[in-house]
Amino acid sequence: MKKRTPHHWVLRRSLAAATAAAGALSLLTALPATSLSGTDAVPVAADVESTATVFYYTKTKNWSAYNLHYAPDGGSWTTVPGVAMEAACTDWVKTTVSLGAAGGLQATFNNGSGTWDNNAGKNYDLGTGDITVKDGVVAHSDPCGGDTGPGPTPTPTQDVNSATVYYSTASLGWTTTNLHYRPTGSAWTAVPGIGMEAACTGWVKKTVDLGTATSMQAVFNNGNGIWDNNNGSDYTIASGVSTVKDRVVAKNAADPCVAEVPDTQAPTVPTKVTAKADGVAVILTWEPSTDNKKVTKYQVTRTGGTKGAVVTDVSSTVLSVADLEEKTAYTFTVRAADAAGNLSDASTPTTATTGVKPPAPAPGKPLGTDPRKDPIYFVLTARFNDGDASNNRGGSQHERSGNAANNDPMFRGDFKGLVNKLDYIKGLGMSAIWITPVVLNRSDYDYHGYHGYDFYKVDRRLESAGASYQDLINAAHAKGMKIYQDVVYNHTSRWGAKGLFTPKHYGVRDAQWSQHYDEPNSSFEYDGLSVEPKSGKSYYNGDLWSTEQPTGNTCVGWGKQTGTSPEGYRIYNCQWPNATSGIWPKDIYHTCWLGNWEGEDSRSCWLHDDLADLNTESAKAQNYLIGAYNKYIDMGVDGFRIDTAVHIPRTTWNRRFLPAIQERVTQQHGAEAAKNFLVFGEVGAFVNDKWNRGSVNHSAQFFTWKERKEYAADDAKAALEMYEYENTAGVAAQPKSTNAFLQGNEYHAPDHSRFSGMNIIDMRMHMNFGDAANAFHNGKDSDDSTNDATYNVVYVDSHDYGPNKGHERYAGGTDAWAENMSLMWTFRGIPTLYYGSEIEFQKGKKIDCGPSCPLETTGRAYYGDHLQGDVKASEFSKVDSATGTVATTLSQPLVKHLQRLNEIRRAVPALQMGQYSTEGIEGQIAYKRRYTQGATDSFALVTVTHAASYTGIPNGTYTDAVTGDVQVVTDGKLSVAAPGKGNLRVYVLNGTGKIGAAGPYLK
């Protein structure tokens, strides 16, 4: 939903880049003016031979020798094992190499006896100057000091003062710390300053000469662009001993390390190390180690295959390794490490032998049955269930959001986790799964999938070996379950769409912005999962920024400084995505900002700076999108949920996108599959009006119809003509439909000749589901203006909103939930449940707050903890077996209610596909439904919670599917007593009897 308050977290456009960096790095502020010369970039010398001094951390390796095996960029590798490294200072070795004109080097390290650190098979990508490699983290600094002293050289007659500074790194997680300072009256040290030494756990220190000065100005940094300059005020530190902790300077302080006993105790040896092969992947697990203080990581050594020994550091007790060699034995050992660098002994080795690489799965085929038969379970794939920890990613907002503190990366669930729990969903009785967008995303907080970057590729953070998107589709189909893919036509990520248009933005990598603008690496391609070696990030963005104007640049005022943010950051033109900057080509993107949510501009302008609005009336954009989504149709998905459908003109849907879907499904899978390929659009109308504030163009039912007249051949002109024509005609002129209604007691063949091809999410019922009766009466009020409301997708709440545009997950109580479900599962439309609602998961919690709070505290929290254990379901609504936590989940009252509702609905065709009427009925939530097709004739009388009386109904024998009660009607009348809150009665003409067992509500 992109209405008023977009649910996808994005940065505001005015100072967006500054806010992002400052938010993610709470200590990062502007350097003193004397430290950096205004906006000038650091000059680059031409034709100068470059060198790199590489420092390598030894404490967690304990090798007897250290070698650097390297290749300058564009050059050849040294002879194995490379060049020997020499001792530098405690826990560090180093070597200096000449690179000629190269701007960096590829590097690996080894002990000369076959054990290698090659960055988990990716090698290290290093630059020039002083570089540290510590436990897989690359930074730029001299960890051994190298202080030549920037201050004045004292004469023998002068008193020489010194300052010893202890700096607390406990809350920072820096692997390297530099002190950048100037004695009072003297010059600053060269950026980044001098390396500080480890003092004790959580503290580093440095002693510097002040000459005749009695104090100094100081700032601290990690050598890789992250600074603590006391919120722009710098620190003033006097001679003598001082401590700096949490921005507080303590003068004449006691040595914070004196009382601390050095930690020399290693963690316990990891136990129960188990390796399990799955094709060419291996999953390694072990029991946690203990330590007198804290275990900070585990070091896994893998041997076997042709790559030799590979050492990988992990923070959890599971490691998934993919793409290994076929039919090869691999041996693993695990060591535990603490913050002091103490390593346990290696665990008992365990071995796993890989099999053969699984063949690429065959394309699927839609199940092709009437979509109204299939209740929908809606999941945010990345938040549902984690089947493969190796593809988890936290992104740039991992720390800021609080997710890191909960060990809860935004990308946590995946297709493997979903495949593993298909039986859970089937056991609920749900036979269709709506999943969030699968295309490769790109933004600061993109786990939800609505910031598409490469529409032709599936996001690798969702896939695993043997659990590709195709594998998920095929696995669901094998269980008789459908997959509905969420798709976005309206917009791309703010970085454009790969293969269509990807802009460059201005970004100088000075000390303020280097953390945000990664160093370009032409050999690396962003895929969301792979870690770019120079930055150490999977959310690398070095390909998005440029100091030099790109060829053909159209952005106005490229790189011109326009001001300074409240945090002290210099702000530049063309620094951040902006609809009106001139950077976006008008034949692909719209170039204006939305101003009126019920105006024409809501369909032709940007909603937000994280949602680059496609010019969907252009052939270039249309062809890109049609080609991309044809790929997923070919894979066999069963339908599309269309995001932000209201923000594209109906003429464009009707002329281009909807016919393209039908044509492709027909071509690939046949006419019957095309007929039953469910397309349902999100047309956000957050009012209780039948027509959204009188604007037909912004009302959900409007999109279910074909055009009523011919418009200009040009799509952009046609959109404007249609908008003006329909708004002028007004609501009274809109078409009517009887497709959802019985004629008396009789079903009639629906007329779909004017159907556009798009069904809709029932926003009217959604808005009013705070009370089931209100939702019922409001929903049916719009059905005569919808082409066929029996296809409406009906839900209480979602990943965007609760009822009445509430920002919290539904918290009306268990009885009210049961009542809402009883209505949805027996009234017209397709019932849909947002993941976890079956146990009132996160009830009352704010659905989304972006990275301003942890996901764990929101309606998008991780659900997998409730699914631990095994579950088997051979039939819908029937759980054969369940163990562990998932067994407890399946025992909850709403789960039992849902299972039986699905049993009853699945057994009574009228409740799935029937038309309805309230004629001759007295009751608060009461209706009759009928479906007639061929030999099937299903007629049912329904009342939810309240008593009801029916007149003028067919005579015959009626059996209640809930209780088994039998009533013989001879005078066309039937009265039903109130079943109670959440309960219902379903009297079926010539019914087979009671369906299912009595439960907490259906009894």
Q: Give tens-digit pLDDT for 128-166.
A: 888 888 887 787 778 887 544 444 434 444 567 899 999
Which helix (H) or strand (E) segment holds residue 458: the answer is: strand 452-458
pLDDT digits (tens, 9 = 90+) for 819-852: 999 999 999 999 999 999 999 999 999 999 999 9
Long-range Cβ contact pairs of 631-634 (< 8 A, separation 24 or more):
631/456, 632/438, 632/485, 632/487, 633/661, 633/664, 633/665, 633/668, 633/669, 633/677, 634/363, 634/664, 634/668
Nearest Cα neighbor of 575 from 594, 591, 590, 556 is 556
Q: Per residue in 162-198, is it b (16+ CB within 10 Å) or e — as a string? A: ebbbbbbbeebebbbbbbbbbbeebebbebbbbbbeb
User: Is the bond preceding residue 81 a cis peptide, omega within 30 degrees?
Assistant: yes
Place of tokens 């046949």: 670
Residue 568 is predicted with a pLDDT of 76
Q: Please state the rounded mean pLDDT for residues 955-971.
A: 98
- Residue 660 makes CB contacts below 8 A (sequence gap 6+) with 626, 629, 630
Nearest Cα neighbor of 940 from 902, 987, 882 is 987
DSSP bridge partners of 913: none
261 vs 326: which has the higher pLDDT: 326
Residue 316 is predicted with a pLDDT of 75
The backbone torsions φ and ψ at residue 221, rounded to the nearest 5 degrees and listed phi first, read -155, 165
Q: Please state the rounded mean pLDDT for residues 695-705.
A: 95
User: Is the bond preceding residue 979 a cis peptide, omega within 30 degrees?
Assistant: no
At residue 815's C-alpha, the angle toward residues 813 and 819, to 5°, is: 115
CB 703 within 8 A of CB 695: no
3-class DSSP assignment, residue 505: strand
CA distances from 954 to 740, 933, 972 (A): 20, 18, 6
Nearest Cα neighbor of 433 from 473, 488, 378, 380 is 378
Dist CA 433 CA 380 (whole Å):
10
CB 612 within 8 A of CB 341: no
Radius of gyration for the chain, computed over Cα atoms and rounded to the nearest angstrom: 32
What's the chain's average pLDDT? 90
Residue 37 is predicted with a pLDDT of 27
Residue ranges of E strands in 304-428: 309-314, 318-321, 329-338, 350-353, 376-379
Q: Please state the rounded mean pLDDT for residues 4-30.
A: 32
Which two three-digit tokens encode residue 323? 């793409």
Nearest Cα neighbor of 8 from 532, 588, 397 is 397
pLDDT digits (tens, 9 = 90+) for 580-615: 999 999 999 999 999 988 888 999 999 998 999 999
Residue 159 is predicted with a pLDDT of 62
**pLDDT score of 6 more than 80:** no
Confidence of residue 48 (pLDDT cuts 50, 70, 90): low
pLDDT digits (tens, 9 = 90+) for 251-299: 998 888 887 678 889 999 999 999 999 888 888 889 999 999 889 889 9
Q: Per residue in 774-808, is it b (16+ CB within 10 Å) or e — as a string? A: bbbebbbebbbbbbbbbbbbbbbbbbbbbbebbeb
**pLDDT score of 810 more than 80:** yes
486 vs 51: which has the higher pLDDT: 486
Confidence of residue 305 (pLDDT cuts 50, 70, 90): very high
DSSP bridge partners of 944: 984
Residue 634 is predicted with a pLDDT of 97
**pLDDT score of 945 more than 70:** yes
Confidence of residue 315 (pLDDT cuts 50, 70, 90): confident
Q: Please state the rounded mean pLDDT for residues 886-899.
A: 98
**pLDDT score of 17 more than 50:** no
**pLDDT score of 27 more than 70:** no
**pLDDT score of 30 more than 80:** no
**pLDDT score of 461 more than 90:** yes
CB 639 within 8 A of CB 758: no
Residue 146 is predicted with a pLDDT of 55
Dist CA 438 CA 472 (whole Å):
12
Nearest Cα neighbor of 440 from 628, 167, 593 is 628
Which two three-digit tokens encode residue 303? 């041997």
The backbone torsions φ and ψ at residue 501, rounded to the nearest 5 degrees and listed phi first, read -160, 125
pLDDT digits (tens, 9 = 90+) for 207-253: 999 999 999 999 998 887 788 888 788 999 999 999 999 889 999 98
Dist CA 308 CA 223 (whole Å):
32
